[in-house]
Amino acid sequence: MTPKSFYRRIEGELAELENSALLRSVPAVDCGAEKELLFKGRKLLNLASNDYLGLANDERLASAAIAAVERYGCGSASSRLVTGNFRIYDELEQELAAFKEQDDSILFTSGYAANLAIMDSFASRRTTIFSDKLNHASILDGIRMSGARQVRYRHNDISHLKKRMEAAKDAESRVLITDTIFSMDGDLAYLEEIADLCDYYDTMLVVDEAHAEGIFGSGKGIAYERKLAQRIDLHMGAFSKGFGSLGGAVSGRKNLISYLRNKGRSFVFTTALPPAVIGANLAALRLVAEDPSRGEKLLRMSRDLKTFLESCSFDCGQSESQIIPVIVGDNETALMVRDKLIEEGIYAAAIRPPTVPEGTARLRLSLRADLNEEDLHKIKDAFAGLKAGAE
């Protein structure tokens, strides 16, 4: 039988990706959430995961997950609105709402699903959505799904945003959504200016705190740290990063959360997270609420490393967080630097287009609170060696 014609097209596209050093494949990594992961049998310092607080392997989370499995079993067996509910799910939503100082919260199977639900619920074809050019892909997908008119503004460019909002001031309804930490650059949104514009132009304001929760603002995020929490309509976050587990969540006023429970298709039409995950999430939330010092330590360490890298003339962009890009430009150089770091015992992700703009391929260092002095020396020595090698 002759193969169907689409195979040729797919093969062609894969070859093109390979030729431009853009073909992705799952790396030969094992134990990828540990401080030292295994790569092709070697232990490497893990600077590529989002386990910023080192909680994914914390025994208190593991015990809570095991206890939840022993009490409730492995699966939730249904969507939340049918029978996929257990007492600990309600507890988690209530404790998260209290932690974020909001009326109510709703859980999703992932941060991705949470962003889809927000856009799909609060926007329609008659809505204009303002979105920072570097917002996460899940936000873009949610906007596409909603059918709304998308107005993208230049990254962190408030005067551009203002012009765009002025031009759309007669739209039937308006929503603005922004990451608070941009995931490939580690820089922060200008939230105060954005909140002012949203008040002036009567625009719903949604923040994605996926990378900030657990770290900034005593773990509550950047909106809280900047004393803007009550000026923001919806706070989206994720348990998959600083909290070391899985799941997305949205917090806000009671009616808005109730609306999401009714309209969010990625909430209504999917099986709820399994009990083990909820057990771990509750343990992580309680750990952070009781002791936010891990996040503070992580930020001190990140500032120190960024200062060092810049003193070696590396381009770390505008990073102000635990995510530090080392921007090298072309794709091949990014892969070459990644491989050199591996030789030095360090695993960092090489990020290439389309995840980042053409010509800005980079190493994305994501630091973690459990790094010690020795680890930091190892990272600094490796980059100093790279610099010396390039000269």
Which residues here bind ligand PLP, judged by CB under 6 A?
A: 110-112, 115, 136, 138, 179, 183, 208, 210-211, 238, 240, 248
Nearest approach, Cβ of residue 332 and ligand PLP (Å): 25
The pair of structure tokens assigned to 166 is 């002025």
Nearest approach, Cβ of residue 346 and ligand PLP (Å): 21
CB 338 within 8 A of CB 206: no
Nearest approach, Cβ of residue 363 and ligand PLP (Å): 17
The pair of structure tokens assigned to 155 is 């990254």
CA-CA-CA-CA dihedral for 181, 183, 184, 189, to nearest 10: -20
Q: Which is nearer to ligand PLP, 211 or 220 (CB)?
A: 211
Q: Which is nearer to ligand PLP, 240 or 331 (CB)?
A: 240
Nearest to 375 by CA among 347, 335, 338, 339: 347
Q: Which amino acid is at 234?
A: L
Nearest approach, Cβ of residue 215 and ligand PLP (Å): 13
The pair of structure tokens assigned to 286 is 């309680």
Q: For the chain, state the CA radius of gyration.
A: 22
Stated as kind and residue range, the H or E segment containing 372 is: none
The string over 351-386, giving b where at least 16 C-beta atoms fall within 10 Å of a residue's C-beta and e elsewhere, is bbeebbeeebbbbbbbbbbbbeeebbeebbebbeeb
Nearest approach, Cβ of residue 218 and ligand PLP (Å): 20
Q: Which is nearer to ligand PLP, 210 or 386 (CB)?
A: 210
Q: Which amino acid is at 41?
A: G
Q: Which is nearer to ligand PLP, 116 or 386 (CB)?
A: 116
Nearest to 55 by CA among 283, 364, 321, 366: 283
Q: Which is nearer to ligand PLP, 49 or 115 (CB)?
A: 115
Nearest approach, Cβ of residue 282 and ligand PLP (Å): 17
Q: Minimal CB distance to ligand PLP: which residue?
A: 111
Q: Which is nearer to ligand PLP, 309 or 349 (CB)?
A: 349
Nearest approach, Cβ of residue 167 and ligand PLP (Å): 27
Q: Which is nearer to ligand PLP, 84 or 248 (CB)?
A: 248
Whole-angstrom Cα distance, residue 133 to residue 354?
13
333 in helix, strand or coil? Answer: helix
The pair of structure tokens assigned to 148 is 């709304």
Nearest approach, Cβ of residue 122 and ligand PLP (Å): 17
Q: Which is nearer to ligand PLP, 99 or 201 (CB)?
A: 99
Q: Which is nearer to ligand PLP, 171 or 277 (CB)?
A: 277
Using a 10 angstrom Cβ sphere, with 0-12 exposed, 13-18 middle and 19 or more buried, the burial of residue 196 is middle
Q: Which amino acid is at 233?
A: D
CA distances from 7 to 4, 11, 15, 101 (A): 6, 6, 12, 53
CA distances from 350 to 3, 28, 138, 329, 338 (A): 35, 15, 20, 11, 6
Task: Tell me how far apart the 2 most distant CA atoms of the chain are, in Å.
Answer: 66
Q: Which is nearer to ligand PLP, 128 or 183 (CB)?
A: 183
Nearest approach, Cβ of residue 374 and ligand PLP (Å): 29
End-to-end, the C-alpha distance of the chain in Å comes to 57
Nearest approach, Cβ of residue 184 and ligand PLP (Å): 9
